[in-house]
Amino acid sequence: MKLFSRNPSAPSRKRTREIPAGLWTKCESCGQLIYNKALEENLKTCAKCDFHFPLTAQERLRLTLDEGSFEEWDASLCPLDPLQFSVPRPYAEKLVEEQRALGMTDACLTGKGRIEGRDVVIGVTDSRFMMGSMGSVVGERLTRAIEGATERQLPLIIISGSGGGARMQEGMLSLMQMAKTSAALMRHDEEGGLFLSVLTHPTMAGVLASFATLGDLIIAEPKALIGFTGPRVIESTIRQKLPEGFQRSEFLLEHGLIDLIVHRRDMKSRLKTLVDAFAR
């Protein structure tokens, strides 16, 4: 027995096709929806506004160094939980979760490689791992990289991308890395070594307040957020509206904090030019 029938004159209803998740990314600068394949082909930059999305440490090394030339240093160093930090969740659990998800033991990779045949020492921080924050292992790896560059008389390049600054879960052991990396860079400078600091989106807090702004030349990608404290925190503190583009690369170049803005597609060749011009 039929209880209902469809009106033959009524318009047919077709099942709506759902768009699969993970195909599009929204640009945080201009709001443009970007097809992920196109984003990858454009080196993870927005074709409309030229915003540079963060790269993983591995992606950064592939774009910066000659293929197959990277020799990782200090891969065996792993972070511990000296304070048994447990708020809002155990730090030890968070570390394991990040390590399994990202295939990294901590938020940076360091080592030696070549840029167009020229040997360099390089360090890269990865904003995916606890916002690229600097704990004891990140600080130790970077310090050893700096010291390795000094001993080998090689140019040093550190590419920073940290929205987390010093890692609060390690307390003073994290904060002291700011002084440790800075002291190593002072010795590198005294020995006549070249240090090129590359700032990417975002570079903030303790990282910016230490090694990231101690370069002989400070280079930034376009539209990168660079500062000690985020603009929303500053506005709520001083109760004033900040200038347009405050803490972005272009604003900081105009006001003298950085020396160059270089597009990602040109970064490798520009670094090679600078190394050839200024390294001993």
For the segment 264-275, the average pLDDT, to the nearest whole number, is 94
Q: What angle do CA 212, 216, 219 make, to 5 degrees?
A: 60
In a domain, 94, yes or no: no
In a domain, 270, yes or no: yes
Residues 42 and 148 in one domain: no
Predicted confidence band of residue 4 (pLDDT cuts 50, 70, 90)? very low
**Domain around 30:** 23-53
In a domain, 86, yes or no: no
In a domain, 98, yes or no: no
What digits encode the pLDDT tens for the residues 192-243? 999 999 999 988 888 888 999 999 999 999 988 888 877 777 777 877 787 7
Residue 236 sits in a domain of what CATH number?
Answer: 3.90.226.10
In a domain, 7, yes or no: no
Among the ranges 95-99, 134-138, 143-147, which has the highest mean pLDDT value? Answer: 143-147
**Do the beta carbons of residue 205 and residue 228 sit within 8 Å?**
yes
How many distinct structural domains can be found in the chain?
Answer: 2
In a domain, 63, yes or no: yes
What digits encode the pLDDT tens for the residues 30-51? 888 888 888 888 888 888 888 8
Residues 39 and 117 in one domain: no
Which phi-psi region, left, alpha or beta, contains residue 153 (left: φ > 0; alpha: ψ -120 to 50)? Answer: left
Residues 170 and 34 in one domain: no
For the record, the structure tokens of 270 come out as: 């520009």
**DSSP string computed for 223-247:** T-BEESS-HHHHHHHHTSPPPTTTT
Residues 152 and 182 in one domain: yes
Specify burial of residue 215 (Cβ count, 10 A radius: 0-12, 13-18, 19+). buried
Task: Report the length, in residues, of the chain.
Answer: 280
Residues 236 and 252 in one domain: yes
Residues 58 and 68 in one domain: yes
Phi and psi (nearest 5°) for 134? -100, 105
Residues 36 and 162 in one domain: no
**Do the beta carbons of residue 162 and residue 127 sit within 8 Å?**
yes
Locus of tokens 């993870």: 44
Residues 61 and 182 in one domain: yes
Gap between the Cα atoms of 224 and 261, Å rounded: 10
Residues 151 and 247 in one domain: yes
The CA–CA distances, whole Å, from 192 to 2, 36, 189 equal 91, 44, 5
β-pairing, 108-115 vs 71-73, is antiparallel
What digits encode the pLDDT tens for the residues 48-90? 888 888 899 999 999 999 999 999 999 999 999 889 998 888 9
Phi and psi (nearest 5°) for 161? -150, 85
Residues 154 and 39 in one domain: no
Residues 201 and 161 in one domain: yes
Residues 132 and 237 in one domain: yes
In a domain, 69, yes or no: yes
The CA–CA distances, whole Å, from 225 to 10, 93, 114, 250 equal 55, 30, 28, 10
> How does DSSP classify residue 94?
H
In a domain, 274, yes or no: yes
